[in-house]
Amino acid sequence: MTIPSTELTVPNHIGIIMDGNGRWAKKKGLPRSIGHTYGAKTFKTMTRYISRRGVKYLTLYAFSTENWKRPLEEVNALMKIFRQYLVDSLTNFREDDIKVVFIGDRSAFPQDIIDLINETEAVAKDRQGMQLNIAMNYGGRAEIVQAVRRLCQEVQDGRLTPEALTETTVSEYLYTAGIPDPDLIIRTGGEHRLSNFMLYQAAYAEFYSTDTLWPDFGEADLEEAIRVFNRRSRRFGGV
Ligand code: IPE
Ligand code: IPE
Ligand code: MG
């Protein structure tokens, strides 16, 4: 029997690996960049829907540390889309209650994008609604490396002893400090891998993969992912 969506437990933190924009465009005989443009539309509509659905934290994987390997033309098209999204969210979405935070190494982006990122975060910082973490130039390994570097410095400066280091301490040095671990990670586009997404935080996340390509992902697909999540038995190593 299908559980009605009103009776489902909504995950506290959902992460989404938004994959399949390029293939979506290719199927339609369009350039990959058009797939990213449509992917950005889904980004906006799904963010609002997931917020209305009562999710407290949403982390969207927008650009990985490995995505710089793509042809310059595609990287430039993506930068143009990020810029447009940021300008839009600063002008049209000022009334939104969503708290936007960026995770990843923003220093690699062009200066105008860094400024827009900082401004977007500043405008949203006191909002009480869902927290939207946008992972840009994010890589789970890079995140762990920057944490280890800072922790080594703490030890060197005498503020921390190696014995005092715990799993919680490490969490506090990740980009996601203060954010609870994801409960559900959704990957669109059919692959079954994390591609460097939230490696430390995903330890006990439920993984859900769908063949739906990101530009086609909609409310019904999200509801199906939540429904499957509700059927999972999370044991966290216990019985
Ligand atoms: C995901 O879609 C978006 C980014 C990685 C920026 P892809 O561009 O990876 O689409 P596919 O996987 O090639 O179809
Ligand atoms: C993961 O997708 C990164 C994002 C969705 C931002 P990729 O398309 O880069 O991953 P791979 O190359 O298929 O592993
Ligand atoms: Mg891909």
pLDDT in tens, 117-150: 999 999 999 999 999 999 999 999 999 999 999 9
Tally the domains of the chain: 1
- In angstroms, how far is CA 125 from the centroid of its own chain? 18
Instruction: Kindly give the number of the ligand 2 atom that is closest to the alpha carbon of 67.
Output: 9
Amino acid at 31: P
Kindly report the protein residue whose alpha carbon is nearest to atom 5 of ligand 1. 63
Residue 74 has pLDDT above 70, yes or no: yes
- Domain-located, residue 200: yes
- Domain-located, residue 208: yes
Summarize pLDDT for 33-73 with one digit per residue, the tens: 999 999 999 999 999 999 999 999 999 999 999 999 999 99
Query: Who contacts 50 (Cβ-Cβ below 8 Å, separation ≥6)?
Result: 14, 58, 130, 222
**Mean of the per-residue pLDDT values of the chain:** 96
Summarize pLDDT for 137-190 with one digit per residue, the tens: 999 999 999 999 999 999 999 999 999 999 999 999 999 999 999 999 999 999
Q: What is the pLDDT of residue 61?
A: 98
Q: CATH number of the domain that 90 lies in? A: 3.40.1180.10
Residue of 18, 26, 61, 67 with the most ligand 2 atoms within 8 Å of its CB, for mutation: 67
Nearest C-alpha neighbor of 202 from the set 174, 225, 224: 174
- Domain-located, residue 173: no
Q: Which residue has the tokens 């999972």?
A: 232
State pTM to two decimals: 0.97
Residue of 21, 66, 80, 81 with the most ligand 1 atoms within 8 Å of its CB, for mutation: 21
Kindly report the protein residue whose alpha carbon is nearest to atom 9 of ligand 2. 67
Continuous segment of H or E residues that includes residue 112: helix 111-124
- Domain-located, residue 61: yes
115 catalytic? Reply is no
Residue 58: domain span: 13-139+181-231
- Domain-located, residue 211: yes
Q: What is the pLDDT of residue 6?
A: 82
Q: What is the pLDDT of residue 92?
A: 72
Cα of 194 vs centre of ligand 1, distance in Å, is 13
**C-beta of residue 183 within 8 angstroms of C-beta of residue 206:** yes
- Domain-located, residue 76: yes
- Domain-located, residue 162: no
- Domain-located, residue 75: yes
Task: Report phi then psi at 45, rounded to 5.
Answer: -70, -40
Q: What is the pLDDT of residue 73?
A: 97
